[in-house]
Structure 1
């Protein structure tokens, strides 16, 4: 019988061991690589929050998630976090590296400013995730969602 995983630390260890992940220095990743993983992590957190409202039609869950997992919403979240000085100097530096990274893709449904700001937010999410700071990641996303009026 398998053991139950009851903490973030235990989950992180289990995850790393099971997938045979090697130790890497998160600071060696490019800001766009951090944004790549951060985008997925942020979306998973938002989908988890949306599903927590109870079983409903998948289409409705998708619409709610899509409203929060887009450049405009992500840009607004990070702007509020910066405005209220919720980030550490290290987190601000990671965000700025992501925001200033030159991407070959362009915004489809957002301004260039929102797209780049959102990329910085995603880079921060990726950085915190890969660093194992899941509690900090969820705390910041929770604060951000609350500040944009999306945390009931």
Structure 2
């Protein structure tokens, strides 16, 4: 279901892979954040039939900087060299702000994770994107 939506939505826009690689890492993280958030919300709505307040609280456990930082560190050895490079670029990007409830290192790693998700989405690597998203939530430790 989510894979079809992502594939169809991305199909409406044309950008070449070389253009994606030339995007600033924070731009990749910007779109990656939205894709990951939509995935987590979809997963929770389908699997956790509860009220919106509880859904929000559960989703925050997945999308907060610490959780994303832990996720990318946990899956790093399963990433290709190219994917690891995207994560490094995102991690090393200088952001103007850091959320007040996040450590700087966690925030940087989470930016790297979001950049990877954005990169896979924009380069139409939907199958690999779904693999990464599934790996990201597979241990359920955020719940």
Give the corresponding residue for 1:12: 7
Q: What RMSD, in angstroms, separates the aligned Cα atoms of the two structures?
A: 2.2
Give the corresponding residue for 2:105: 113
2:78 is paired with a residue of what secondary structure?
Answer: coil
* 1:80/1:147 contact within 8 Å kept: no
- Structure 2, gaps ≥5 residues long: none
Q: Take 2:123 and 2:71, find their aligned partners in 1: how far apart are those partners?
A: 21
Alignment length, in residue pairs? Answer: 140
Q: Which has the higher contact order (CA 8 A, sep 6+)?
A: 2
Larger of the two Rg values belongs to structure = 1
Give the corresponding residue for 2:57: 63
Q: Take 1:52 and 1:31, find their aligned partners in 2: how far apart are those partners?
A: 31
Q: Take 2:35 and 2:136, find their aligned partners in 1: how far apart are those partners?
A: 15
Runs of 4+ in 1 over 3 A off after TM superposition: 10-17
Q: Take 1:98 and 1:86, find their aligned partners in 2: how far apart are those partners?
A: 18
Taking structure 2 as the reference length, the TM-score comes to 0.87
Give the corresponding residue for 2:133: 141
Question: What's the offset of the Cα at 1:107?
Answer: 2.5
User: Relative to total residues, which structure has the larger helix share, 1 or 2?
Assistant: 2
1:59-106 C-alpha deviation (Å, 9 max, x unpaired):
111110011111000000000011xx1000000000000000011011
* 2:61/2:142 contact within 8 Å kept: no
* 2:32/2:118 contact within 8 Å kept: yes
Q: Take 1:37 and 1:127, find their aligned partners in 2: how far apart are those partners?
A: 9
Q: Take 2:9 and 2:73, find their aligned partners in 1: how far apart are those partners?
A: 34
Q: Take 1:93 and 1:145, find their aligned partners in 2: how far apart are those partners?
A: 22
- Structure 1, gaps ≥5 residues long: none
Taking structure 1 as the reference length, the TM-score comes to 0.83
